[in-house]
Amino acid sequence: MGIRSQIPLVSANGVVFCWRIDLGGKPMTEDKLSNGPAPQEPLFPPIPHIEAYKPGIDRTLLVENLKLTPLERLARLADLGESIKELRKLVRGPGATAK
């Protein structure tokens, strides 16, 4: 570990931070020293078997959904559902009834 220098910084809302920087200039940690709000507890403590699924969730889909109104989100999924129904009918052939 190299020699570190400590540089006090004051943010716009008056919170004082101290950045410890190694000789390469890379920030190592950020310590809140005073006046800041207490760190917020997470609303839900992490559950390992749920955390394990998170890397696999497609966030781009969620970002797109959040651009829509709630009813538009629902309508979009309903359209998808109706399209799948139509496709199933095609696969089963004419005269087949949907399950």
Tell me: does residue 62 bind another protein (CB under 8 A): yes
Q: Which of 12, 41, 54, 94 binds another protein (CB under 8 A)?
A: 54
Pick from 62, 7, 13: nearest CA to 30: 7
- Return d(Cα 98, Cα 61) in angstroms, integer: 28
Instruction: Determine the number of helices (DSSP H) and then strands (DSSP E) in the chain.
Output: 3, 3
Pick from 58, 52, 4: nearest CA to 31: 4
Number of residues this chain uses to bind another protein (CB under 8 A): 30
> 19: which 2 tokens?
């950045």
Stretch that binds another protein, among 17-25, 28-36, 69-77, 89-97 (CB under 8 A): 69-77
Q: Which of 5, 82, 87, 92 binds another protein (CB under 8 A)?
A: 82
Q: Which of 30, 31, 35, 81 binds another protein (CB under 8 A)?
A: 81
- Return d(Cα 31, Cα 20) in angstroms, integer: 9
Contact footprint for another protein (CB under 8 A): 43-44, 47, 49-51, 53-54, 56-59, 61-63, 65-66, 69-71, 73-75, 77-78, 80-82, 84-85
